[in-house]
Structure 1
Amino acid sequence: MLLNNLKKDLYHKSKLYSGLLKVRYLKKEQTPLVANLFITGRCNSSCRYCYVEIDKNPKREFSCSEWIHLIDDLYAKGCRMYALVGGESFLHPHIDELIKHIASKNVFLNLTTNGYLLHQHLEVAKLATEVSISLDGDEKSHDLNRGKATFAKAMKGIELAASAGIKVRLCTVVTKHNYEQLDFLLDYAENKNFFITFSPLINAADPRKQDASTMMLSDEEIRLFFQKLKDAKRYSSRIINSDANLDYMINYPLKYGEIIWKGTPKADYYSSPCPYGRFNYLFASTGEVYPCCIMWTSDCYTPKNIFVEGLDRAIDHASNGLGCQCCSFANAVDWDKITSLSWLAYGIKMTLLQNFNLFGRKDTNRRDL
């Protein structure tokens, strides 16, 4: 199983890295190399901070055949990584067929889920390059963030995926409820050989979740958390957030959540062009195309819809004239850095670590963080 996972991982990442290097060095802009497909607006959870517009009965979503057509069109345009998100991906009535179709292209496939329905789709989930499952801390902290009894369901899905040989990535949203859960999460990730991504709650964009604002960390707390995370990287190899990512957030010059616009005094804080709207796009289940999730939740951006404008015009619109230089969505930093040759070696190292745990814990007696 390990050798099969390594072979699949290296092959999928080689195609992704090849595309990334072409974007950087051959200047192939507006290539949808990475497609984040919000496969459905339906969800079986009620996370208090979610920014996705959950609709139990959406008026118009992509049909299975339309999703397949879009997946094929994006592949023809250079897409080499598909990320299936939601809502809850496994609530799409044809999710197994869509996963199989993407997997048949031998590209990187990330499947994001809360894990509740994984037992019904375990065999097809094995086709994904990796499966990202939400975990916000111990039972008390996780349930405060995501609802009563959700911890047990998430853990059941995580353990099931791991026992089936699926490469698992944990995804944690940091709030006032789980701010002190770093040790618990890192210990669990180290024991299970999982990797983990941390994303502090910065915007509570959904007006239906009025109490979400009470969960948000202050700017000082966010800054301190990123510093703790950077310190933790000296003791744990489990953290996916890079040092560059963490430094960017620690020193962010505006209030977290505020956008730095081109031509403003802070526009030189990060001079590299944002990857979102260049090779990384978000496709909503209702047809809208966004450059990123920040613009999804922003009143300053009006997307084009594939159903109305067509795919080319919708992507072109998401690629031009945004006016933003950078923001506190730190993933952009890692996507920019990963297109450099120096990060290729880092990527190979991380791939070996993820598949074989070659480097293990940096310090099994690390101090409390």
Structure 2
Amino acid sequence: MGLPLHLSIKLGRYLLQQKIRGRKKFPMLVELEPLFACNLKCAGCGKIQHEAHLLKKRMPVEQAVAAVEECGAPMVSIAGGEPLMHPQIDRIVEELLARRKFIVLCTNAVLLPKHLHKFRPHRDFAWMVHIDGLADRHDEAVSKKGVFDQAVAAIKQAKQAGFQVYTNSTFFNTDSPQTVVDVLDYLNDELGVDRMEISPGYAYEKAPDQDRFLGVEQTRELFAEAFAGGRRDRWRLNHSPLFLDFLEGRRDFACTPWGIPSYSLLGWQRPCYLLADGYAETYQELLDTTDWDQFGRGKDPRCDNCMAHCGYEPSAVLATLGSLKESLRAVGVPTPGA
């Protein structure tokens, strides 16, 4: 399905500006982490393994906004940790909306009912609720019973209040094509979320459980079978067609690690959201002092099994823009042989 039309126009205009200016590296979306603390202890996430003093810190509103403005990305994903634990998260969202950024606020949704009244529906704002399977599978992934039911109730409440709600589902080697189909059918058809993101899990170095992550061939087989029978075309997936082709092994790309930079309490993370090879104080320093060519499958062993959208969706977007046929396909215009 791809991006909403107004967001596609916003991103297309931005990418054209970068081309006119001759910029070779630029952000399409920035991952903003204003805190590392979380109210859950998911087995596949290493964020809460930071030192205790870092888990207590919260990024000032002015710092968060300045980082987004510095890099210039048109879209912002506010993550963490759990962003709703930040006492000024609504202020951060308000300030970024005032600067005409498109924002998704990533949350496990446990705290969403308590804080929903602090936000207002806006066409450039969406909740991004993590749903990693149906009830038992999701609760196992987040290491706590009952969270799936809480998340579903919060999604319904947010939708009833007029908000856009997206979901983000991470899949592991404990998944099968049928579990992928089951959760996406439920989110798409029964719960009626606006859009869905999907990604194979990445083996965070500090994740407590290191045995659940997919390899490249496992990922391709999983999604090729899950997408079979035209299913992917009826799901409201928030991805470019070429990225979905990539997941199921029909296309391959090099990673674009600079396409979705990450800014946290520690600074600009090198080289991407998933690897932490040090931090830069400014976005320009990140660009100028990172050896981007050393990352990606076949270059760095840590990248060998990565097929995450933070590195490969930007590659797919750039490939889409380089092809009239793929550009038309991305906005839903039928093309011969597509």
Scaled by the length of structure 2, the TM-score of the pair is 0.79
Question: Which of 52-61 and 9-18 deviates more?
Answer: 52-61
User: Does the C-alpha gap of structure 1 residues 69 and 241 become closer, same or farther in structure 2, counting only changes over 3 Å?
Assistant: closer
How far apart, in 1, do the equivalents of 2:230 and 2:313 lie? 16
Structure 1 match to 2:183? 185
* Residue 246 of structure 1, CA deviation: 4.0
How far apart, in 2, do the equivalents of 1:252 and 1:324 lie? 22
Aligned identity (percent) is 20
Structure 1 match to 2:91? 97
* Residue 11 of structure 1, CA deviation: 4.1
How far apart, in 2, do the equivalents of 1:39 and 1:346 lie? 36
Superposition pairs of residues 77-156 of structure 1, within 5 angstroms: 78-123=72-117, 124=119, 126-127=121-122, 128-146=124-142, 147-156=144-153
8 Å CA contact 2:201, 2:214 repeated in 1: yes
Gaps of 5+ in 2: 298-302, 334-338
* Residue 112 of structure 1, CA deviation: 1.0
8 Å CA contact 1:131, 1:169 repeated in 2: yes
Whichever residue aligns with residue 303 of structure 1, its letter is Y
How far apart, in 2, do the equivalents of 1:285 and 1:233 lie? 42
Whichever residue aligns with residue 206 of structure 2, its letter is D
1:314 aligns with 2:286: yes
User: Does the C-alpha gap of structure 1 residues 37 and 235 become closer, same or farther in structure 2, counting only changes over 3 Å?
Assistant: closer
1:174 aligns with 2:146: no
How far apart, in 2, do the equivalents of 1:14 and 1:193 lie? 22
User: Does the C-alpha gap of structure 1 residues 10 and 170 become closer, same or farther in structure 2, counting only changes over 3 Å?
Assistant: same
1:329 aligns with 2:329: no
Gaps of 5+ in 1: 1-8, 254-268, 351-369
1:14 aligns with 2:12: no
Structure 1 match to 2:270? 290
8 Å CA contact 1:118, 1:157 repeated in 2: yes
How far apart, in 1, do the equivalents of 2:113 and 2:229 lie? 33
Scaled by the length of structure 1, the TM-score of the pair is 0.73
How far apart, in 1, do the equivalents of 2:44 and 2:296 lie? 26
1:302 aligns with 2:278: yes
Structure 1 match to 2:33? 38
Whichever residue aligns with residue 211 of structure 2, its letter is T
Helix, strand or coil for the counterpart of 1:86?
Answer: coil
Whichever residue aligns with residue 234 of structure 2, its letter is S
User: Does the C-alpha gap of structure 1 residues 65 and 204 become closer, same or farther in structure 2, counting only changes over 3 Å?
Assistant: closer
8 Å CA contact 2:67, 2:263 repeated in 1: no
* 1:110-154, Cα deviation, whole Å (9 max, x unpaired): 211111122233241624532211112221111111122211221
How far apart, in 2, do the equivalents of 1:203 and 1:252 lie? 23
1:165 aligns with 2:165: no
8 Å CA contact 2:31, 2:273 repeated in 1: no
1:64 aligns with 2:61: yes
How far apart, in 2, do the equivalents of 1:251 and 1:21 lie? 29
User: Does the C-alpha gap of structure 1 residues 235 and 40 become closer, same or farther in structure 2, counting only changes over 3 Å?
Assistant: closer
8 Å CA contact 2:241, 2:330 repeated in 1: no
Whichever residue aligns with residue 286 of structure 2, its letter is A
